[in-house]
Amino acid sequence: MASLFDAKKLILAPQAGVTDHVFRQLCIEQGAQLTYTEMVSAKALSYGNAKTQGLLSLAPNETSVVVQIFGHEPQTMAQEAQMLEERLGDTIFAIDINMGCPAKKISSKGDGAALMKDPDLAFAIIKAVSSAVSIPVTVKFRRGFELDHETAPEFAQLAEQAGASAVAVHGRYAQQFYRGSACWDVIARVKEAVSIPVVGNGDVVDGPSAKALFDQTSCDAIMIGRGAQGNPWIFREIQTYLATGEIISRPTPREKMDMAIRHAYLLREHEGNYLARMRKHAMWYVAGLPGASVYRRAFNDAVTFEDFKQIFNEAANYAEKVQESIQES
């Protein structure tokens, strides 16, 4: 499977409450070569939960997607993986098993990163899922669960032996959550430990950091998570930098706000209760703009698309005025 990521080097990471099909659509337009769904509960899928089913909606430009599932019951995970392959057909690139989510509501139930503490169960899950489907099965995990107890290289070997076609490694311990810096050296150690492709994840925020991760780890692809929040352009920027070494101009405040308005519009059109989700994205879009704190407070009172549109336009207009004032002085 050495060629699994040959044409899919820049990947949008799975992020709960963030990577819905609307956000994935915008990132694909800006150069994301592969996208992951939000993590999907295999148990909820088995119950036919409507909200969970909604997480499987695809973007209109999404021809290849990885569905990330989580759970701790091998049989249920395998059954639902098989269902996903049948349901999505040629559109599903792979099934990813979440063994890295550090959230307490996930790990406290034995799911996500908690599986790094139970290698036997993790092996059984990967084995069951990979045996149930014909598409690749990948596993995403962290440097280790407990601080200063690195287990990722051995865990990657376990995943490979159980039938995984690739692994993705986030360079933090689960107990770190997102604090501190991601350790890229562990990604290199995982790369040396296995023969399957390795995806590097953690602290990629621009072209130079993406190239540095590739250079330092020899990973096969990189996964961008928080760096894409409010910034779908990051994929275009990285593509250009990797190809030419050029750092292209960041979008202007007006371009950012136009994207934010479109984002809000698409969410309104395709999501029933979209306000809470759009407020989250809106905070990221205005980050770094003059007066951002004022707009963040205004978003909390926004209840319609027109409210969001007005705030975004005000933010763009004010940023332009500030820029003009700076240039005149």
Candidates 297, 298, 309, 237; CA nearest to 267 is 309
Q: To which H or E segment does residue 317 belong?
A: helix 305-328
Report the C-alpha gap between 310 and 261 in whole angstroms. 9
Report the C-alpha gap between 99 and 122 in whole angstroms. 8
Q: Is 101 a catalytic residue?
A: yes
Report the C-alpha gap between 30 and 235 in whole angstroms. 6
Contact (CB, 8 A) for 234 and 227: yes
Tokens (6 digits) for 180 = 């501190």
Contact (CB, 8 A) for 115 and 125: yes
Report the C-alpha gap between 304 and 148 in whole angstroms. 47
Q: Which three-class secondary structure state does DSSP give residue 258?
A: helix
Nearest 5°: CA angle at 58, between 54 and 63? 155
Q: Which three-class secondary structure state does DSSP give residue 227?
A: helix
Which of 27, 101, 183, 219 is labelled catalytic? 101
Contact (CB, 8 A) for 5 and 199: yes
Report the C-alpha gap between 123 and 118 in whole angstroms. 9
Known catalytic residues are 101
